Amino acid sequence: MTLIKSISGIRGTIGGGAGEGLNPLDIVKFTSAYATLIRKTCTVKSNKIVVGRDARISGEMVKNVVVGTLMGMGWDVVDIDLASTPTTELAVTMEGACGGIILTASHNPKQWNALKLLNEHGEFLNAAEGNEVLRIAEAEEFDYADVDHLGSYRKDLTYNQKHIDSVLALDLVDVEAIKKADFRVAIDCVNSVGGIILPELLERLGVKHIEKLYCEPTGNFQHNPEPLEKNLGDIMNLMKGGKADVAFVVDPDVDRLAMICENGVMYGEEYTLVTVADYVLKHTPGNTVSNLSSTRALRDVTRKYGMEYNASAVGEVNVVTKMKATNAVIGGEGNGGVIYPASHYGRDALVGIALFLSHLAHEGKKVSELRATYPPYFIAKNRVDLTPEIDVDAILTKVKEIYKNEEINDIDGVKIDFADKWVHLRKSNTEPIIRVYSEASTMEAAEEIGQKIMDVINELAKK
C-alpha cells in the first residue's frame, strides 16, 4: 500500500492501515488541513467548495468522506460528481467558490486515487500552499464546526454542459468549419469521465460520425490509463481499419490529450501542444511556454511567428506561473496538456480537441500530413539509479561545470541546450535517481547524447 504526500496533493492506493494507503482516516486529515488553509487564505466570500471526481471505483467512497469532512469544517459543498479535472477547475470560478477538490489519480491504475487541491481561481495550489497543507495535516491543526455552523450540501450536474458551452464560445473554435469538414472521429476514454463529456462535445461541434471505445464510465480501465503508444493498441488497430480521420485519447481525468493519425500511427503527444499552438499563434500573436522536458518544436513554431518561447520548471503550476509572467497566449506540457488562457489556466483536453479540429478543418489536410509540417524531433527518456548515499546535487553541479560552454538552464535540475539537441537532468524527489531526458532530430541521436551524459554521471558517482 502506498501513500504519497506532496505539494500537489495526496495520492495513494486504496486500503491498508492508517498512513499506508489512501484510506478514510487520511482522507479526513488532509481534507481538514486543506479546508483550514482555504479558510485562512481565500478572498472570496462565498463559503463554497466544489468537489468533482473521475469514474474510479473508489470515487464514491472517497467523495462521501471528503464531502462530509468539508461540511464538518463548516463549508458549503457543491458536488458536481462525475466531472473532468478541467470541468472542476472551471466550476470553481463559475460558482464563485473558495476552492475545489478533484478526486482523481490522473493516469495511475485503478487501485489509486488522489485529492488534487484547487484555489479560488480554480488553479492548483502553489508550493508554499501545498507545504502548508502538509504541515497543518501533520500537526492536526484544525477545528470542526459546531452544530449551528455545519456546512450545507448541494448536487449540481450542470457543469459538463457549462464546460462545453464555454469551449464552443471561444473565438478560435470554428464550429461551422468543423461541421463542413464532416470529420469521422474515434475516441478512447478509458472507462472514465471522458466517456460522458467527449461524445457530447463532438456532437455539439458538428461531428456526426463518432467511433466510441471504452466510453462507459465504470472505473474498470480496459487498458493502462496512461495515453502512451504501448497502451493504445486497440484504438490504433481501429484506426488502421480506416474507420476515422482522427482519434482522440484521454486519460481518466481528461487533462491530457493524445491523438492518432488516420493511418493508425500515433501523432505523438509532444505534438498536441505544438499543433494547437501553431493554430493559436496564426490568429493571435503572442508568447508560449512549456516545461523544460517538452519538445523544442514549440520553440521553433513560436519563433516562426516572431514570438518568444519560454521554458518553465516541470509541473503544471510552474507552467501557469511562467505563462502569466510572460503573457503567453498558449502553453502547456509535452504530455498532451494544452493550457489556453482564453479559456482557463489548466490543462484541458476539450479545448485541445476543439482547437485541433478547427485547425484541421482550416488546413484541409489529412492528420498525418498536418503532422509532417512540424519539425521532427525525438525524445529519449532514461534514468540513472544511484545509491542513497550519493550526493545527487553535487553531481548535477559538476555536470553543469563540464558543459558550461553550452546553454544551461538550472531552474529545475540541469538542462543542457546544444545547437541541435538537448539533455535535461532532474533528480527524483522520492528516490535516488536522476531522470535523463534527451531530444534530437533522430531517436538514435537522442539516445546517443543521453547515454553520453549518463556515462558522465556514472563516472562522477564513482569518485
Please write the tens of the pLDDT for every residue from 216-262: 999 999 999 999 999 999 999 999 999 999 999 999 999 999 999 99
Question: Is position 84 annotated as part of the catalytic site?
Answer: no
- pLDDT, residue 462, reads 85
Q: Give CA separation, 160 vs 46, 304, 359, in Å.
A: 22, 36, 24
Amino acid at 120: E
Q: What is the pLDDT of residues 323-371, one digit of tens each?
A: 999 999 999 999 999 999 999 999 999 999 999 999 999 999 999 999 9
Give dist(CA 189, CA 235) in Å, integer: 10
| Under 8 Å between Cβ of 394 and 457 | no
User: What radius of gyration, in Å, describes the C-alpha atoms of the chain?
Assistant: 22
**Listed residue (141, 121, 113) closest to 34, CA to CA:** 141
Closest alpha carbon to 310 in 323, 324, 329: 323
Residue whose entry in the numeric block shows the C-alpha cell 545547437: 419
354 burial (CB, 10 Å; 0-12 / 13-18 / 19+) is buried
Longest dimension (CA), the chain: 67
Contact 315, 8 (CB under 8 A): yes
Q: Which of 416, 61, 78, 381 is nearest to 219 (CA)?
A: 61
- Predicted pLDDT at 330: 98
Model's pTM, two decimal places?
0.95
The sheet carrying 257-260 orders its strands as 209-213, 184-188, 246-250, 257-260
Phi-psi category of 48—alpha, beta or left, where left has phi over 0 and alpha has psi -120 to 50? beta
With a cut of 50, which residues of the chain have pLDDT below it? none
- φ, ψ (nearest 5 deg) of residue 371: -60, -35
State the CB neighbour count (10 A cutoff) for residue 345: 21
Partners of residue 124 on adjacent β-strands: 118
User: For residues 36 and 142, is the Cβ–Cβ distance under 8 A?
Assistant: yes
3 state SS of 44: coil
Distance CA 300, CA 380 (A): 19
- Of 32, 58, 84, 106, which one is the catalytic site residue? 106
Give the per-residue pLDDT at 430: 67
